[in-house]
Structure 1
């Protein structure tokens, strides 16, 4: 195996459930040691792809390779992968140590060796002091880490994670995002993470595949997906975007096609707006001002017929508060406008 050999290669992967095509000819390579996320709404195909890689489902067409080895027709236990589910599925009557060692026990590893390896796995998730406790004595975040230790103790080549943070509250989920990335980096195992939470995917991943209707809509780094979405779907699903249809693009931007601008790229002011080369100003009326703590979201109905959302930082540089009904000018730089679809993005507005 070389460093260039992908951990996972999917070629023409297809899965049909009767008349429904859940996965539609997906081609994908995931690098060894990569933290890779599959992101999309319910029914987009991401979880089905994960189940196909795990062997829980058989594809209608295409192939699945694990480090160059075709595993398409192999049973789940005959693939060097492991899966962490949302419910963790810990055995309540077993100690934490025995839960972690269970996979080694099934594989016939002797008690002394499996306990030693289980303790090392617990140390990797920083819970070695919990070895003698029962799962009921642990917090949600601790149970999540125990499930990770149990999945990694058997040293799989690839770890599959099916929305493992979905059952946690917001504060704990944010904490576990950081810890999960640190654990992955320490272990060096390829992680394939399924989520419908775009912020989670952006926070954790080296790369993200955005799924829509069984296909990959866009594949790239978190920064690429956020800063340069290729379609209206990605712009709208990954974060928040102000979307300009063809008519609004022509009226406001001076060119045809569909475009997007992120709320934090815009500013709200009074008077004539900002001056400078490449700056676009559009007058409108404040509809709502929403306090978010770290930021302020200002919703404005532009005179050109588009409602936009502006996100300003709640810092000492904020000039004033806007009230409903205030007349304002929304400004942004032309360089922050992203063309979507590309078919007629550069078409000039009619004279």
Structure 2
């Protein structure tokens, strides 16, 4: 692996009038990495992708691709390609012609571009679909054609702007697996923009969580999920029980702001001799493989508990049931410490 990052962003800032869409982002993306930029609408992630691609020019800062400063280079002068959510396939062209189009623009001869297009389609398991029109394909197949078209020109990095957003849930889950396999087979850097936390956690080697134009947290999926650094990350990535200072002092016996994931909580009957806090089941939400319990504690707090519907779940909980809720202290994440005491 090269010591030079595939992509380096330094102090990257983009302002639109009086609005700062990207605010001083510093980031290195490793060659061959599947890197996701995750955040809600308006968090700056798509603008960063457009700055990398050259579709926007930064107000301040720089963009380097494989050690080369491309801050002011045109999109066609950057060794990257982009896959968009709407696929942007030419409806009048066959699948093979769509994939070969970028090679044609580059002046590659007919025989070579046909061969390379076939190879690219083979990599996405659509080699036998070259003569079909895009209208004859499913949504997932069109997405794979878009991937083949983007990779046939052999870019060093592929930028993906919410490419699975238009697919239904089942197809999106299938494409997540296929996308990771394609990235592994190609061995090139993927930069994936999404607002879907499950996609980011499933696909990524690392994730940057964006909020208000800045990177709120950068880390592996397990680091982002198990050790969020702020209220925003804890609540945006997955579901968390957020305990403010008062709740922390009541339930944990210490000040500060804390978080604990619903699946880390355990529920038992009140007559079972285990440590815990007492409460009443306010709502039961069945989701097939799991059940979500909303529990109102006697101390005034409300907690969400997630239980897997497996053989270890001995009984169904019902609204109004009295329960005990317990947790391991090691599963509690500190989001902010109490302020230091002032010295008089």
Please indicate the TM-score interval, normalised by the length of the shorter structure.
over 0.9
Equivalent position of 1:192 in the other structure: 191
Q: Structure 1 residue 59 and structure 2 residue 62: aligned?
A: no
Equivalent position of 1:295 in the other structure: 290
Q: Structure 1 residue 262 and structure 2 residue 261: aligned?
A: yes
Q: What is the alpha-carbon distance in structure 2 between the residues aligned to residue 87 and residue 182 of structure 1? A: 22
CA deviation after TM superposition for structure 1 residue 344, in Å = 2.2
1:272 and 1:64, CA in 2 relative to 1: closer, same or farther beyond 3 A?
A: farther
Cα shift readout 1:93-139 (whole Å, capped 9, x = no counterpart): 11100000000000000000001110110011010010110000000
Q: What is the alpha-carbon distance in structure 2 between the residues aligned to residue 307 and residue 250 of structure 1? A: 15
Higher alpha-carbon deviation: 296-305 or 59-68: 296-305
Q: Mind listing any 5+ residue stretches in structure 2 that lack a counterpart? A: none
Higher alpha-carbon deviation: 127-136 or 264-273: 264-273
1:208 and 1:345, CA in 2 relative to 1: closer, same or farther beyond 3 A?
A: farther
Q: What is the alpha-carbon distance in structure 1 between the residues aligned to residue 38 and residue 116 of structure 2? A: 33
Equivalent position of 1:101 in the other structure: 100
Matches within 5 A, 1:219-238: 219-238=218-237
Q: Structure 1 residue 139 and structure 2 residue 156: aligned?
A: no
Q: Structure 1 residue 315 and structure 2 residue 307: aligned?
A: no
CA deviation after TM superposition for structure 1 residue 302, in Å = 1.1
RMSD: 1.3
CA deviation after TM superposition for structure 1 residue 201, in Å = 0.2
Matches within 5 A, 1:86-97: 86-97=85-96
Q: What is the alpha-carbon distance in structure 2 between the residues aligned to residue 5 and residue 258 of structure 1? A: 39
TM-score, normalization by structure 1? 0.95
Matches within 5 A, 1:110-149: 110-149=109-148
Cα shift readout 1:221-246 (whole Å, capped 9, x = no counterpart): 00000000000100000000011000
CA deviation after TM superposition for structure 1 residue 274, in Å = 6.1
Q: What is the alpha-carbon distance in structure 2 between the residues aligned to residue 337 and residue 78 of structure 1? A: 48
CA deviation after TM superposition for structure 1 residue 346, in Å = 10
Q: What is the alpha-carbon distance in structure 2 between the residues aligned to residue 96 and residue 322 of structure 1? A: 53
1:299 counterpart SS class: strand
CA deviation after TM superposition for structure 1 residue 322, in Å = 1.2
Q: What is the alpha-carbon distance in structure 2 between the residues aligned to residue 317 and residue 188 of structure 1? A: 41
Q: What is the alpha-carbon distance in structure 2 between the residues aligned to residue 294 and residue 334 of structure 1? A: 26
* Preserved contact between residue 281 and residue 296 of structure 2 (Cα < 8 Å): yes
Equivalent position of 1:41 in the other structure: 40
Equivalent position of 2:31 in the other structure: 32
Q: 2:299 aligns with which of 292, 300, 304?
A: 304
Matches within 5 A, 1:194-209: 194-209=193-208
Q: What is the alpha-carbon distance in structure 2 between the residues aligned to residue 274 and residue 123 of structure 1? A: 61
Equivalent position of 2:338 in the other structure: 344
Q: 2:324 aligns with which of 326, 329, 338?
A: 329
CA deviation after TM superposition for structure 1 residue 326, in Å = 1.1
* Preserved contact between residue 270 and residue 278 of structure 2 (Cα < 8 Å): no
Over 3 Å off, 4+ runs: 272-275
Q: Mind listing any 5+ residue stretches in structure 1 that lack a counterpart? A: none
2:327 counterpart SS class: strand
1:273 and 1:334, CA in 2 relative to 1: closer, same or farther beyond 3 A?
A: farther
* Preserved contact between residue 37 and residue 191 of structure 2 (Cα < 8 Å): yes
Q: What is the alpha-carbon distance in structure 2 between the residues aligned to residue 306 and residue 144 of structure 1? A: 46
Q: What is the alpha-carbon distance in structure 1 between the residues aligned to residue 180 and residue 195 of structure 2? A: 18
CA deviation after TM superposition for structure 1 residue 273, in Å = 5.4
